Amino acid sequence: MKLDIFSEIQDPKPWTPDHQHLRMTQALEQAELADSLGYGCWWQVEHHGAQEFSLSSAPELFLAALSQRTARIRLGHAAVLAPPQINHPIRVAERAAVLDHLSGGRVELGLTRSTAPEWRLFGVDPATVRRQVAEVFETVPRIWGGDLSVTGGVPVVPSPLQTPHPPLWQAASTPGSFEEAGRRGVGVLGTTLWEPLERVSRLVELYRAAAAECREPAGAFVNDQIAFFTFVHCADTDEQAMRDGAAAAAAWYTARALTFFEAADAFLENMNREKELMASPDGGGRAGAFLRAEAGAAAGPNAAQLAIGRILQGETVPEEELFEALSEQGSLIVGSPETVRKKLRAYADLGIDRLMCFQQVGGLSHESVMRSIELVGELIPEFDLAG
C-alpha cells in the first residue's frame, strides 16, 4: 500500500492579514517534505466558494508549481470537477497534458461530479451532471489520442508525456459510484472518514468485482487501483497527538464538510437513488446487491452515524464525542508512530492500493502537520514494498 498525501489547503479562522498566502506557502513546504520522504502521490482537490474549507480553487496551478519543486512524488487531481460549465473537457485534457510534461510524466487525473453549491456557482443543471461526467470520461482520452471527431476537426496539443496517457480515476462515495468506476475501468478515489472499516472492505470487493468485468475501459487501459482518503495525524506520543488538536480538527472538518457539501440534501438524493437500485427490475447490478445485503444485515446505526445524523439536523456535537465515535469505527488514524502503524496495517490488510493521508486539517499547526508528515514518512518502507 502506497502512502500518499491528500490536500484541501484548509484555512480555518481566526485569520491573519496574510492568511491565504501563508496557507499556500505552507502547503508547498509540506509537499516538498513529502517528496523528500518518499510519499507516492500528492492529491489536490478542486473546490470553489469553499472559504475556510478549502483554498484549492485552481489545483492545476498549484500542481504546476509542485512539478518544479518536487522530483519523485506523483501529482494527482482528486478530482477535477468534470461538468463542462466548470471545466471544459478540452481544457481538462490540455492542462493535464502540459502538467504531465512539466512534471516529467507524474500526473494522475481524477474526475468527479462536483457538489450542489458549485453547480449553482457555475450554472450547472444537476439533472445533467451524471451524463456529462460519463461523456468527459470518454472524451478526454480520445482528445489525448488525437481523435479529431471530438474536437471539431481541430488538433489539440500537446499529448501527455505518459503513454498511452496518465491513469484515470473517479471520486466515489456510494456503492453505485464504486461500481461505476470499476465498470469504467478507472481507479476509484474513495472517502473513508465516516465509513467503518467493515464497510470499506465490502466497497473494495464491490469495486474489484466490477473492474474485473470491464472489457471496454474509458481510457486505453484498465486502471484497477483503489485509493481511500482519511484523516491521519501522527505525533511522538498518543497524548501529544491529542494536545496538537487532533480531536478538534477531525470534528471541525466533519462539521464543515457536511455544511459545505450540503450533505442533508445529498443524503436524501443518494438514499432515493439507492432505493431505485434496490428495487430495479434488473437487480440494480452489483451495487443493488450490495445495498440489499446491507439492508438485510442492518443492526441499526453506530455511534458515528448517529453523531453525523445529529449534525445534519443542525445540532452541535461536542468535539470529543464526535472524535471518539469516529475513532471507534476505525475511521481515523491518530496517535504515536506505533498506534498509527497498527491503524495503517488495518487499511493495508483490506487490499487498498493507496492511502491518501489527509494531514493538513482544521486548526492543526503547520509545525505539527510537518512533524506528522515526517513521522508517517518513516513508516513508508513498511507498507510500500514496491518502493
Q: What is the pLDDT of residue 387?
A: 67
* DSSP assignment of 179-211: HHHHHHT-EEEEE-TTS-HHHHHHHHHHHHHHH
Q: What is the pLDDT of residue 54?
A: 97
Mean pLDDT computed over 5-12: 98
One-letter amino acid of 381: P
pTM: 0.92
In this predicted model, which residue has the larger pLDDT, 122 or 319? 122
pLDDT value of residue 20: 98
Residue type, 146: G
The pLDDT, as a whole number, for residue 299 is: 60
What is residue 7's predicted lDDT score, i.e. its pLDDT? 98
Helix (H) or strand (E) holding 180: helix 175-184
Residue 373 pLDDT level (bands cut at 50, 70, 90): very high
Strand partners, 226: 188
pLDDT in tens, 267-293: 656 666 667 767 777 878 888 888 788
Tell me what the pLDDT averaged over the chain comes to. 92
> What average pLDDT does range 156-178 have in this prediction?
97
| Mean pLDDT confidence for 84-110 | 98
The dihedrals phi and psi of 207, each to the nearest 5 degrees, come to: -65, -45
Q: Look up residue 213 and give its DSSP letter.
A: T
Q: Report whether 343 contacts 261 (CB < 8 A).
A: no
| 3-state DSSP percent of the chain in helix, strand and coil, to 5 | 50, 15, 35
Mean pLDDT of 73-87: 98
- Mean pLDDT along residues 88-99: 98
Q: DSSP code of 127?
A: G
State the distance between the two ends of the chain, measured CA to CA, in whole angstroms.
10
**pLDDT score of 290:** 81
What φ, ψ does residue 41 adopt, rounded to 5°? -155, 145
Lowest mean pLDDT among 17-21, 195-199, 213-217, 350-354: 195-199
What span, in angstroms and rounded, lies between the C-alpha atoms of 114 and 71? Answer: 30
User: The C-alpha cell of 224 is what?
Assistant: 484497477
Q: Which of left, alpha, beta for 91 (phi over 0: left; psi -120 to 50: alpha)?
A: alpha
Mean pLDDT on 245-273: 79
Q: Angle 285-296/197-212 helices, nearest 10 degrees? A: 150
Cα–Cα nearest to 37, from 341, 276, 371: 371
Q: How confident is the model at residue 31 (pLDDT cuts 50, 70, 90)?
A: very high
With a CB cutoff of 8 Å and minimum separation 6, the contacts of 60 are 77, 95, 96, 99
Average pLDDT over residues 142-162: 98
